[in-house]
């Protein structure tokens, strides 16, 4: 598992051993709370030789490594572009069977909030970070199609124990539910990890035949009720189209030229 010292990696390290009992952790630096029974090997994703070293003798990779928020292009390029390519290339060279890539809702973050989208929409990244996740999905598709690597890309939403507001509630994913997704992940798919709250039992919206039932619905429903109760809902989504504004001089020029 790359990115073992990051936010998601730190949470999942405690939950994954029952599924992956022989788990090798990797990051730039050793986690401060590394357990006595945990195995760790440092690696810089931007260094292909180091990435190949951590892929040696590995069956599968959970790729959480890289820059996890928006940053400068240099930051994103080194960790999420070069680093992502190196990870897939090293996996190919070392005969790794499967890579599970942690993508993000930011790969489609510029769709309006009131639009419900599926897995087949055109990517609309909302940041350089989002662009890097679209890149990762594309590289994963290339290595799956061209080299036969088993690749699963999970577009992770708001990861954590409890969402703070309605927007984050709509894409909330609890650690236990992400573990369930990872245990189900196989082949080449781009599941979008979003919990749906309705009168029906919540499910995790996925693609490629993967279906999971969130294990945390008992806590999800009270959280949803609490957040929704605090919201003031408009009668419908608010949307305005502002036409192109041009200067008076430009308007006169346009009229004169016509």
Residues annotated as catalytic are 129
Q: Supply the DSSP symbol for 108.
A: G
Q: Which of 111, 197, 188 lies closest to 149, judged by CA? A: 188
Q: Report how far apart, in Å, the C-alpha atoms of 55 and of each of 14, 24, 48, 91, 132 are.
A: 22, 10, 11, 6, 22
| Length of the chain measured in residues | 258
Q: At what angle do helices 128-147 and 83-93 cross, to 10 degrees?
A: 20
In angstroms, the CA 53 to CA 41 distance is 9
């Amino acid at each position: 598992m790359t990115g073992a010292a990051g936010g998601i990696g730190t949470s999942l390290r405690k939950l994954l051993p029952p599924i992956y009992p022989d788990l090798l952790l990797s990051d730039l630096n050793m986690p401060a709370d590394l357990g006595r029974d945990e195995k760790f090997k440092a690696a810089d994703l931007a260094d292909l030789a180091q990435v190949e070293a951590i892929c040696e003798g590995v069956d599968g990779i959970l790729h959480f490594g890289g820059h996890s928020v928006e940053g400068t292009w240099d930051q994103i390029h080194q960790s999420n572009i070069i680093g992502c390519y190196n990870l897939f290339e090293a996996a190919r060279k070392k005969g790794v069977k499967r890579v599970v890539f942690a993508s993000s809702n930011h790969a489609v973050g510029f769709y309006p909030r009131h639009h419900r989208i599926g897995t087949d929409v055109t990517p609309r990244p909302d940041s350089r970070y989002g662009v890097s996740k679209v890149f990762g999905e594309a590289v994963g598709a290339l290595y799956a199609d061209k080299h036969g690597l088993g690749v699963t890309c999970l577009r992770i939403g708001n990861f954590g124990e409890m969402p703070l507001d309605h927007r984050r509630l709509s894409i909330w994913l609890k650690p236990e539910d992400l573990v369930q997704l990872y245990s189900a992940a196989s082949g080449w798919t781009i599941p979008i990890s979003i919990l749906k709250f309705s009168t029906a039992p919540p499910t995790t919206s996925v693609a490629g035949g993967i279906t999971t039932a969130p294990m945390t619905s008992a806590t999800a429903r009270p959280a949803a009720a609490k957040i929704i109760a605090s919201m003031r809902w408009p009668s419908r989504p608010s949307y305005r189209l502002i036409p192109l504004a041009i200067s008076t001089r430009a308007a006169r020029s346009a009229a004169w030229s016509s």
